[in-house]
Structure 1
Amino acid sequence: MTGNQTAEGPKHKKNLTRRKVVVAGAGVVAAVGAGGTLAAGAFAGETPKGKKGAGASASSSSSEVCYKLTSETTEGPYYIDADKIRQDITEDKEGIPLTLSLKVIDSETCKPIANAAVDIWHCDALGLYSGYESLSTGGGGAPSGAPSDAPSGTPTGEPPSGEPPAGGGGGGGHEEPTDDKRYLRGTWKTDKQGRVTFKTVFPGWYRGRTVHIHTKVHVDGKWTDAGYEGGHTCHTGQFFFDEVSVLASAEVEPYSTSTTERTTLTEDTIYDQSGTQGGLLKLKYNKKNIAKGVLGSITMGVEPDATHDGTDDAVQPGASASASASASAS
């Protein structure tokens, strides 16, 4: 962790009535050094979609545009509720440096959502999830108890068929952690512009899933010196990487040492093939040397008054997600 990033907070336990996370100190919206500089212009090239609203101006005129509601997806079995309050989630994991710059807006009004708690979590360069290493596939083969949001069957040129085993999918199936490691997990607060930045590494892949990052957005809670209390989860989604970037990463160690057959973006049963709306990141990196680092950015249009916790209203694996901006948008 560098510069003005704060240290991680202590662990906490989730109860049935409220969500509470512990923050370290009052500097919760501090910039991320160089990452903060990158974040400032990360969204300039994105193409807004949808209807007019009351958000940021799309040009020098008074015309304004909104983004479509971002697709909801399954939470997956490996979520740990706000276990680490930090922006740098790398710890000691090897991999291509990734700065993830996110913006959260109200899909109806276009207004940025400040003070939201944003979670991200993903596997390491060889497919392991912290907290669940004994259940993760890793870099070779698929042991019993492999990630249960992965469809059964060996990935081929055709998309894997059928729903995943019990424990994955869109209907919950959360697994309790099997170890106390927490690398590549973190929670941070959106600023007044709805922005939040994380420092991590480019994810690897595991059997049956394309390269992805999980995310949750929590709103209507209260940040205090003691933590973030109350509120609800208004968005549960996943971020995805285009094939060109993944193929480039596969040439770099330790990704190049993986023996796990990869599922492509078009074969994945969670990604709904809708581009940015479905969570496809905009990526910037040196095309001749991706190992130097990647900047990934996206604007998430969410429905702050709705509850989408990824356990009962998310898109089912193998289903085609709807492009409609309804409360059950995929």
Structure 2
Amino acid sequence: MTRRRVVAVGAGALAVAGLGGGALAVDAAAGERTPGPHERPEDCYVLTSETVEGPYYIDADKIRRDVTEDREGIPLLLSLKVIDSDTCRPIRNAAVDIWHCDAAGVYSGYEDMGNGGGGGPAPTGEPPTDAPTGPPPGGGGGGHQEPTDDTRYLRGTWRTDRHGQVSFKTVFPGWYRGRCVHIHTKVHVDGEWTDTGYEGGHTCHTGQFFFDEESVVATESVEPYASNTAERTLLTEDTIYDQSGATGGLLKLRYDKRDISRGVRATLTVGIDPATTNDGQGTPPQPSTSASPSAT
């Protein structure tokens, strides 16, 4: 099993934090309801698509639900339900990571990389695509690159509850040349939650969440998205999204169609196989050395 440790931010960082307040004008209830004993929802039996990790993952993100920090943008409440795709049972006490770019298309920890054109610092190399075709720059599979700075906005890790649910408060992502609008995620199981964070275990899912074109177009007239002049890749043109809807990570969105700036609620059931290891480094999923107790 791979070894990882996530460091908590300050005393009491593992305590449950509220997601209310602010400009978020959407329902803050987390996730979807748990299936009844005689229900067999179709999405329980479908593995959510695995994807590459991408170049901008940092394996020491903050233990927090609110990852916004000082980033401006449309409030987004991301509510996920993590289940075993074979048994439909919720995966409790899993560590879920999310990370994504800001409205200008810039990733924290990599501000020197720019956003591929427009709305942010000038890029120093080839535009990021999260889908490298040659040897990965900086070493590591999936095109991983070492951080260039100490910023960590729009990144965080939180634990799933007994229903397999976890929520994050963030902002609607922006875009950069070569990729459609998306959020990265990892799910870790078999580790241990301690007073200082999450230790051990293995990564059983590496994926991405996507936004439909209607919602993205709606953000284009709202600042600071309106100032992002980078060429935008459509959902149907993306090289990572497999066009399979929710199975491929397409989020279910709720927002005021007259004014998206009031906030967006995004939900999705994520079907995983807790007994496999998939770190997004371009290798096929591998069976874990032990069954996950989180699935019981």
TM interval, shorter chain, is 0.7 to 0.9
Within 5 Å, give how 1:167-246 maps onto structure 2.
Answer: 167=136, 171-246=141-216
TM-score scaled by length of structure 1 = 0.77
Comparing 62-71 with 235-244, greater Cα deviation is found at: 62-71
Q: Which amino acid aligns with 1:145?
A: G
Residue 5 of structure 1 is matched in structure 2 by: none
Residue 5 of structure 2 is matched in structure 1 by: 20
Deviations 1:143-183 (A, max 9, x none): 342443356xxxxxxxxxxx645438x94221000011111
Identity of aligned residues (%): 65
Within 5 Å, give how 1:1-330 maps onto structure 2.
Answer: 18-23=3-8, 24-25=10-11, 28=14, 30-34=16-20, 38-40=27-29, 42-43=31-32, 56-57=35-36, 62-65=38-41, 66-137=44-115, 140=118, 143-149=123-129, 164=133, 166-167=135-136, 171-313=141-283
Q: Which amino acid aligns with 2:178?
A: G
Residues 251 and 312 (structure 1), Cα distance of their counterparts in 2 relative to 1, 3 Å cut: same
Corresponding residue SS for 1:172: helix
Whole-Å separation in 1 of the counterparts to 2:116 and 2:128? 13
CA contact 1:77–1:175 (8 Å) conserved in 2 = yes
Deviations 1:82-112 (A, max 9, x none): 3211111111111000011011100011011
Residues 235 and 62 (structure 1), Cα distance of their counterparts in 2 relative to 1, 3 Å cut: same
Task: Name the structure where strand makes up a greater proportion of residues.
Answer: 2
Corresponding residue SS for 1:235: strand
TM-score scaled by length of structure 2 = 0.85
Residues 18 and 256 (structure 1), Cα distance of their counterparts in 2 relative to 1, 3 Å cut: same
Whole-Å separation in 1 of the counterparts to 2:86 and 2:135? 35
CA contact 1:126–1:138 (8 Å) conserved in 2 = no
Whole-Å separation in 2 of the counterparts to 1:296 and 1:314? 29
Corresponding residue SS for 1:176: coil
CA contact 1:82–1:119 (8 Å) conserved in 2 = no
Residue 327 of structure 1 is matched in structure 2 by: none
CA contact 2:180–2:232 (8 Å) conserved in 1 = yes
CA contact 1:32–1:197 (8 Å) conserved in 2 = no
Corresponding residue SS for 2:236: coil
Corresponding residue SS for 2:188: strand
Aligned length: 275
Residues 17 and 248 (structure 1), Cα distance of their counterparts in 2 relative to 1, 3 Å cut: closer
Whole-Å separation in 2 of the counterparts to 1:314 and 1:286? 40
Q: Which ranges in structure 2 are unaligned for 5 or more consecutive residues?
A: 286-296
Root mean square deviation, CA, Å: 2.6
Q: Which amino acid aligns with 1:43?
A: E
CA contact 1:137–1:146 (8 Å) conserved in 2 = no
Q: Measure how far apart 1:264 and its partner are.
A: 0.2
CA contact 1:104–1:112 (8 Å) conserved in 2 = yes
